[in-house]
Structure 1
């Protein structure tokens, strides 16, 4: 059985994802159970959004019924062995990254209508194999991606990561931070006009926290 994911809490209800999605009240009483798998629940607009391989489902927060389902596609092919990131929901848009380990051309960031599940844009990262969870503030989406470096170390193949900022309206790249070929970045946190990320050197096994200025909206 799939391990439960971190819960989401809204309106005195706890939503837990895993091999199925369950809602319980603050007294521990089950309110509803949806038998389909879903992870990393996020709640907005009286809807529970959960990720699954390979996409996102929207469930009614009141009874767990499915509102819509989106299956990610790249170049007109459905994602296969795919792992979506935790979603971010801003206003009426849901954002998430997706890594497809079955293909080398299917790492992407997506924006969907939170109401209908219609794709608004998709940004493909053709040279990367991992994309992180997004954080969105003031019309800009922040995340990180990683591919393979152009060299082999004593520890084998090394990731080359980049912190990125995309336009939240259309997915175009605003900026990226790419300091070294052996660097990987954490999911970002946006606070007080700064984007905070952990930058980790894989070869040196050292980490620092970077404070980057937000992109202009």
Structure 2
């Protein structure tokens, strides 16, 4: 019997609306990229909670799946619209929502998406934010901040710890904010700013937590554990990993994926969760910036780009993007965008190129490495790239 994940993939491929990210199976060839949906862009995907058609959080949506509904994503080449200089050690990717682009290094900056002009800067923010309905939620030293997206002014703040930094928050629409703080996760009501519950974990939480279907949230810790909690904080499962996780995990309909410092990516099938076993692992190298999932699992990092079968962990194809681990795949308009040695746009359909590699839609080179990013929003690719011997820029490409 096929898994629920396989069933949803088959339904999507058959053309029944799973709104948002365009379907990967049966996509046009690299010579015939998908038509733009300027007048009728796809709706956010109904199977990805928190998908709002924008790249408004780490991993794009509440499941950290790095898939966006953007019918205008550029698939046949890009030109630069603007650039803003950033530090070479800026390893957080931007997020974009409502005509603004946000990037956090030593503080949080908001830029106009049209021309790159700086709109405001907040000195206390220490994390990638999540943006929703005109509010920017972000972590600071011991505090969760809610900022006005237009001005950067503090709407409210909530002290959660005296000695721990607040990690990257996740917002599950209709459920609330899930916030990692040291070795604990807090659930916050964004309307009242109140703590609904908190749960301790073993090891520092690698945030943000990921939404898991209707079950609740999942997260990994630096002690090598994966936890699954219900929306009321009830513990549903705990898995022990053989190595320390390298990045926050990604959730699919009934599965979890996490990359570890032993150079492997691990898959957990929650349909078989009573076993509390790891179902498979794939030798992917370090994938420090996250994992993309839509029908298949995509990783990139020290071993280049991989497409992995989500049920078996078998490699479907590989592509040489170099060994830069601070980039991650982004899915939109039947195209896989990724950095590394350059910016790549690939047709992820198995067999689209050679049997062992995807077809290339386009490539764009800069002076050096590409990433953090790319992320996609409103027909634009945002990415950090090395633009000179000692210069790095956040770029808007269209």
Normalised TM-score (structure 1)? 0.72
Residue 184 of structure 1 aligns to a residue in which SS? coil
Question: 2:129 — aligned with what?
Answer: 41
- CA deviation map 1:151-192 (0-9, x unaligned): xxxxxxxxxx11110112x21211011255xx3234221124
Deviation, 1:206, is 5.0
Q: How many residues of Structure 1 are paired with residues of Structure 2 in the alignment?
A: 179
CA distance in 2: counterparts of 1:179 and 1:29, whole angstroms: 44
Q: 1:175 to 1:24 in 2, by over 3 A?
A: same
CA distance in 2: counterparts of 1:179 and 1:24, whole angstroms: 39
Question: 2:179 — aligned with what?
Answer: 96
Q: 1:178 to 1:19 in 2, by over 3 A?
A: closer
CA distance in 2: counterparts of 1:139 and 1:55, whole angstroms: 27
CA distance in 1: counterparts of 2:219 and 2:256, whole angstroms: 10
Instruction: Say if 2:235 is the partner of 1:173.
Output: yes
Question: 2:148 — aligned with what?
Answer: 60
Question: Is contact 1:48-1:61 (8 Å) kept?
Answer: yes
After TM superposition, the structure 1 = structure 2 runs for residues 175-214 of structure 1, keeping only pairs within 5 Å, are: 175-178=237-240, 180=242, 183-185=243-245, 186-198=247-259, 200=260, 205=262, 207-213=264-270
Greater CA drift, 114-123 or 35-44: 35-44
CA distance in 2: counterparts of 1:196 and 1:71, whole angstroms: 31
Residue 84 of structure 1 aligns to a residue in which SS? coil
Q: 1:164 to 1:35 in 2, by over 3 A?
A: closer
Question: Is contact 1:84-1:96 (8 Å) kept?
Answer: yes
2:206 pairs, out of 132, 137, 142, with: 132
Larger radius of gyration: 2
Q: 1:114 to 1:178 in 2, by over 3 A?
A: same
Q: Which ranges of structure 2 fall in alignment gaps of 5 or more residues?
A: 1-86, 274-398
Q: Which ranges of structure 1 fall in alignment gaps of 5 or more residues?
A: 100-106, 148-160
Q: 1:35 to 1:144 in 2, by over 3 A?
A: closer
CA distance in 1: counterparts of 2:145 and 2:103, whole angstroms: 14
CA distance in 2: counterparts of 1:69 and 1:208, whole angstroms: 36
CA distance in 2: counterparts of 1:206 and 1:60, whole angstroms: 40
- CA deviation map 1:105-124 (0-9, x unaligned): xx211111123321111102
| CA RMSD after TM alignment | 2.4
Q: 1:54 to 1:174 in 2, by over 3 A?
A: same
Greater CA drift, 51-60 or 37-46: 37-46
Higher strand residue share: 1
Question: 1:151 — aligned with what?
Answer: none
* Structure with more relative contact order (C-alpha pairs < 8 Å, separation 6 or more): 2
Question: 2:226 — aligned with what?
Answer: 163
Q: 1:116 to 1:63 in 2, by over 3 A?
A: farther
Deviation, 1:16, is 2.0
Question: 1:141 — aligned with what?
Answer: 217
Q: 1:179 to 1:196 in 2, by over 3 A?
A: closer
Higher helix residue share: 2
Residue 132 of structure 1 aligns to a residue in which SS? strand
Normalised TM-score (structure 2)? 0.41
